[in-house]
Each structure stands twice: as structure tokens, then as C-alpha cells.
Amino acid sequence: MILPGATLGLLGGGQLGRMFTVAARTLGYRVTVLDPDAHAPAAEFATAHLRAEFTDPTALDQLARTCAAVTTEFENAPAAALDALAASVVVRPAGSAVAVAQDRRREKGFFAAHGFPVGAFAVIDGPGDIEAALGRVRLPALLKTARLGYDGKGQVRIERPDDLARAFAQCRLVPCVLEELLPLDREISVVLARGEDGACAVFPVAENRHARGILDVTVAPARIPVALAAEATALATRLAGELEYVGVLAVEMFVVGDRLLLNEIAPRPHNSGHYTIDACRTSQFEQQVRVLCGLPLGDPSQHTPAVMVNLLGDIWNAGEPRWEAVLRHPGAHLHLYGKREARPGRKMGHVTVCESTAERSLDVALAIRRDLGIAATASP
């Protein structure tokens, strides 16, 4: 058990790392962030900032020598770096689990090999795989790069067979996965924490709506039947066990009729779990600290219905947004990530609305979106 006062290491200094660092500092830990960005959001709250690449041997050696445990805030942290650190310091999650999550081929293959429900997919490693992929996956479909695709990036919609070869070339012939486009009723996610002893603390299932491939709104708890929520929780818990996962894990799923299909996993806290900061007894970031340090898991129960709205850089086009439009609502909680440059599609912050009912939370959240000039999309 690693007690407060110790130093924790963090690979990555983005907004997830910022919120982890706040939780760790609140609990009395010191935090060293490894990130090449001089203005990494997490570094503002950290006790030390190593400005170096994630594979830099000198920086990794310093983390190993000065930190009691190390974690990551993004799934593309080099798994080899995590493995190297694990030789001399506690690392959670393990590089082996992160390696599965950061490659869609391994991820989908893991789901299928362990009997998890998953939509039709095919791996395309080269042009010679295209014909077989079209035989396995009905169109329309999505072609996704196996690595580094995130928030809608690295994805091309395929309508006709002839589109696939062109799209694969557009993706520069890097390994890809072709996935059938499913008639979704909802998209949901389950965020959980799993300790080294196998104990799990699972947050309520969240319901997500995306716009342009980026999470737009999360409603928690999800508006799905109790039995379906229980099934989603059981699937996520079993998946964490099969991965021998230790840490905070997010599992994204599709609801298709009365079926659940796994979409992807994130080996870290998740955007759809931000509501836990304001609406649960323990946040996903505090859980990340607890698991990393071998502390008892916190209570994940939700005390207030909540709706989270992502704030993207688009709303800075006309200058600083009207934050009074958010703060005039007593149930609204504003979280800004301290990023210096607002760009279209860049996650700059979020608002979580906590009210007595999910419907009231959603009404207020949609009003805030309108006041901030966020483009209207289909109602969640």
C-alpha cells in the first residue's frame, strides 16, 4: 500500500492527467508528469514536470527512481515504456493491457477470442485483404485505422465495394479494421476500477451521444432497462477480469435492439465518466489514485442524476464564451482544462449539470449548450 506523501508518476499531461493530478494532490500525494508539452494541462498542478518524449530513457529512469508508482492518462502511451518501468516500480495498468487497447486489431480479436458480443469486423493489413473483408462485413461500414484513431479521426465511411480500396489508400495503407455500421439504438459506456486483488467498483452505466465523432453529451444513469444495465456491468467486469486489468477501465458498447455489442475499451478514465466528479461519492480519478496505490476502492454510487456537456474549441470563435450562462444555474459545474489554444474539435472543458431528475438535468444542460452557441444536434 502506497500512502499519501509518496510521489506518483504520470505518462501524459492532458486533461485526464490534470484531473488525476488534482485528485492525487487532494489525497496528499506528489505527482511527476512526463510530457513533452511545455504547457501540458496536468503540469500546472503537478509537483514536477519532465519535459521529454515518452520513450526518453533518461526521463523513464528518473520516473522509476523517484516515483512509488506510475500510471498513464492516454491509451497511446508506449506499452514498451510501461513494461520497462514495471521492472523497477509499480505500474498500473500493465503495458500488456494497454497494448490491447491501442490496436483495434488486437482489441477486436480479444473480444472475439474470449466470447464477447461484437459486431462484424475484418482486419485489413494490406490490399490483399480487401476482398475477404468485403465478404465478411456488410456495407455500409466504417474503415478505421488500427492505431491512433480517436474522436472520429482515422475513420472513413464505406458505402460501396469500390470505396474500400480508395479509402485504404487514403489511410496510407496502414493496418485497418473494417466494421459493419450497425443500426444503433444507443451508445453506452461502463467505467470501472479493478484492484490487484480482483475487486471491482463499477460506476453507473452512462449513455452517450456523439457529434462529428466526438462525445457531445453524456446522461447518467443511462436511460435503459435495469436488466440491460446489469448485463452491461457484468460484461465490463468480466472483460476486466479476462484482461487481468488493474486500474480504471472504460468499456464502450452499442445497444442494438435488445443486444449489447462491445465497441472499444480505454485503459484510463474516460470522457463519459467525468460526471463522476460531481455526481458520485468517488470520482473516476480518485479511483485511479486508489487503485494505483493499492488503497481500498471508493464507493462508486451516484447520488444525483447528471448530464455532462463537452466544451470544444469551436465555441471560442467569437472570443471567450459567456461563462455566466453556465454559472447562473445552481446545479451546473464548470470544468476548464487550462489549454492555451482553442481549436475546432479540441476538448477545452466540460459542464456537468446535477439536478433532482435526469430530465431536469438534461433540460438545463441543453439550455447551457444553446447559451454557449453549441450547434444543435439530434436531441439525446
The answer to whether the 120-180 and 186-371 domains have the same CATH topology is no
331-349: average pLDDT: 96
CB atoms within 10 A of CB 221: 19
Query: Sorting pLDDT into bands at 50, 70 and 90, what band is 375?
Result: confident
Do 124 and 136 form a contact (C-beta atoms < 8 A)? no
The residue ranges of every structural domain in the chain are 7-91, 120-180, 186-371
Spatial CA neighbour of 354 closest among 303, 312, 310, 311: 303
- CATH number for the domain whose boundaries are 186-371: 3.30.470.20
List alpha helices for the chain, DSSP H: 15-26, 57-66, 79-86, 95-101, 104-113, 130-136, 161-170, 226-242, 276-279, 284-293, 324-327, 358-371
β-pair partners for 71 = 10
Within 8 A by CB and 6+ apart from 148, the residues are: 76, 154
Residue 201, all three cell numbers = 467498483
Spatial CA neighbour of 277 closest among 252, 294, 298, 255: 298
45-60 pLDDT, tens digit per residue, is 999 999 999 999 999 9
Spatial CA neighbour of 333 closest among 318, 319, 349: 349
* Burial group, residue 296, by CB count within 10 angstroms (0-12, 13-18, 19+): exposed
320 SS3 class: coil
Fold of 7-91: Rossmann fold (3.40.50)
179-222 pLDDT, tens digit per residue, is 999 999 999 999 999 999 999 999 999 999 999 889 999 999 99
Within 8 A by CB and 6+ apart from 17, the residues are: 10, 33, 35, 40, 41, 42, 73, 74
Query: Sorting pLDDT into bands at 50, 70 and 90, what band is 17?
Result: very high
Distance CA 177, CA 169 (A): 14
Question: Quick check: 380 pLDDT over 70?
Answer: no
* Stronger pLDDT, 155 or 355, i.e. the higher one: 355
Class of domain 120-180 (CATH, top level): alpha beta
85-123 pLDDT, tens digit per residue, is 999 999 999 999 999 999 999 999 999 999 999 999 999
Distance CA 107, CA 168 (A): 20
